[in-house]
Amino acid sequence: MEEKLKQLKEKLAVVADLQAAAALLGWDQQTYMPPGGAEDRGHALGTLARLAHEHFTADEIGSLLGDLEPYAASLDADSDEACLIRVTRHAFDKETKVPAEKVAEFAFVTTVAQGAWEEAREKSDFSIFQPHLEKIVALRREYADYFKPYDHVYDPLLDDFERGMKTADVKAIFEQLRPLQVELLQAISERPQVDDRFLHLAYPEKDQWDFGVDVVTHFGYDWKRGRQDHSVHPFTQTVHLGDVRITTRFDPERPASMLFSTMHEAGHAMYEQGVAPRLARSPLAGGTSLAVHESQSRMWENLVGRSRAFWTFFYPKFQKVFASQVGNVSMEAFYKGINKVEPSFIRVEADEATYNLHVMLRLELEIELMEGRLAVKDLPEAWNARMRDYLGLTPPNDSLGVLQDVHWSGGMIGYFPTYALGNLISVQLWEKINQDIPDLESQIAAGRFDGLLGWLRQNVHSHGAKFGPQELVQRVTGSKIDPMPYVRYLKTKYGDIYGL
């Protein structure tokens, strides 16, 4: 069996190498590729996707898995080998249902759609992107059909990002969470508003960039295995464990946008950089799910980056760099300003009390698109209607509305609920971390993050994709994904800020 396990690992490493090449081309597409390269890049990515799919779904892989599964049953269920066989089987069973030509077609369509989305967003014209999204939705419905019978058409898509989770599971969590967040938002709206005018002044780009770099260097982002660039929409791209790249974006009069985007993406990247090296070039070499990934990015962005303890250390530096903007602003006023609760158009810049409502809106629209109850052409109107219902706002244009997120151009339908789930997981983990590291707040206030990162490395990062999201959360915190710790966190934090 050792020889067959070695053969499986070698074949899986080839797939990982093809995926790494595609990842690098995808990163370049969103950072440096000239606009005219979209169609040819689409063909290249389509070819790589097809080759990776063909290698992964080859009969030899299936035969090796069949031979190795009895062997895996004799191993410790938590061992790398048993987890590798189990996780590979799950992915193999999914991918063998999808024809290789459809994988290539999807890669091509989404690559071309990326450029169309960028143009549409720049011009605030949904009609430019509409035909591309119609193709993507049709392909996603076709993809889901390969997995019939299913409980819900959205299930196969959600499973791509949250292994083992069902649409019904997510709906149940959100139905418990939504009224509690709306209640909190209503209570905050009745209190005097926080003043954050100092966050809407001109802040030089280089100073913003350098400050963000300093912050994530303190966090522990490894620049020998990463880099940062500009992109339309911030993202993290793992080429392989030794090359995990982040991007950010600049707004001259919204310094919080670049700063917290940098923290957020560094959180993703440090997760990938923390995966045990022995799992490299295998299906275990990466985060276990997008929700767990979001728990890491949102933890560093919000639980750390928007905390009093964090700014106890960093605010004197921030005041020195941006003396003309915040030289006369107290640390407490700054802390309240960066935590101001106010319904807004843009998800990635939403405060913690309203962020999940942005996600719930998108989940509902995606489900309706997949069910065929909503046509793509009607998406802008449906988006605006839900924005009014959920947040009391009507986007003035498509760029601030339906075109703001990059995900649909990449075909990532099923991704959005992971953002809210990640918020919930982040606080569940945070409660456990504070139990295990009682002086965590004082460490952060002293600019020391090695204790926090070390805990995450040991309990979350190093495992890679060995355990599913619910299983990992259960192992670490003692319960599956639960919205109540997050609700407690919000009530405590904003009760203090707004005097509730």
Catalytic residue set: 265
Of 388, 385, 346, nearest to 368 (Cα)? 385
Cβ-Cβ contacts under 8 Å for 447 (sequence gap 6 or more)? 218, 313, 314
CA angle in degrees (0–180, nearest 5) for 462-92-410: 75
Place of tokens 């119609």: 134
Torsion of CA 349, 338, 445, 244, to 10 degrees: 20
Measured between alpha carbons, how far is residue 50 from residues 19, 58, 93, 319, 381 in Å?
10, 12, 17, 52, 36
Q: How far is CA 500 from the centre of its chain?
A: 31
Residue 163: both structure tokens together: 């292994």
* CA triple 251-253-259, angle to 5 deg: 55
Looking at residue 86, what DSSP letter applies?
H
> What span, in angstroms and rounded, lies between the C-alpha atoms of 271 and 261?
16
The C-alpha R_g of the chain, in whole angstroms, comes to 22
Neighbour-count burial of 229, counting CB atoms closer than 10 A to its CB (0-12 exposed, 13-18 middle, 19+ buried): middle
Per-residue burial over 306-334, b = 16 or more CB atoms within 10 Å of its CB, e = otherwise: bbbbbbbbbbeebbebbeebbeebebeeb
The whole-angstrom separation of Cα 421 and Cα 481 is 8
Helix (H, G, I), strand (E, B) or coil at 357: helix
> Beta partners for 229?
247
Q: Which residues of 369-381 are buried (b: 16+ CB within 10 A; e: fewer)?
A: bbeeebebeebbe
Report the distance separating Cα 377 and Cα 358, nearest Å: 20
Using an 8 Å Cβ cutoff, are 238 and 272 in contact?
A: yes
